[in-house]
Amino acid sequence: MVTGLGTYLTLSAVLFGIGAAGFLARRNLLLQLMSIEIMLNSVNLALVAINRAHPTSHAGQVFAFFVIAVAAAEASVGLAILISVFRLKKSVESDRADLLKG
């Protein structure tokens, strides 16, 4: 059985939808960060799948590498903000994140 490009792109779209729904439905900052990571990984899956369909260029894999680097930076900054919110209010709800202003 051969898995085609459409299968990978469908899986990527489903994962992105799950991540977007998780981000919009949850108020917990940690779960929101995890949902963003799912969305970024679904984009990586799509990039590598498209690159596999066009093997003469490695642009998809290079761009996926940069997305991984951005995801690592996003995780570290997001966790720092999460720790700051938790230290101030002893809660990780996103509704209380506006308290870090000013």
Q: Which pTM was predicted?
A: 0.85
Q: What is the pLDDT of residue 25?
A: 94
Rounded to whole angstroms, the Cα distance separating 64 from 44 reads 5
Answer whether 100's CB lies under 8 Å from 81's CB: yes
Report which of residues 64 and 101 the model is more confident about: 64
Task: For residue 99, name the pLDDT band (cuts at 50, 70, 90).
Answer: low
Q: Which residue has the tokens 């709800």?
A: 93
- Which residues are CB-neighbours of 19 under 8 A, at least 6 positions away? 35, 36, 37, 38, 39, 42
Whether residue 100 has pLDDT greater than 80: no
Cα-based distances in Å from 50 to 18, 32, 92, 96: 21, 27, 37, 40
Q: What is the mean pLDDT of residues 25-51?
A: 93
Q: What is the pLDDT of residue 64?
A: 92
Q: What is the pLDDT of residue 57?
A: 87
Rounded to whole angstroms, the Cα distance separating 93 from 21 reads 17
Domains of the chain: 5-100 (1.10.287.3510)
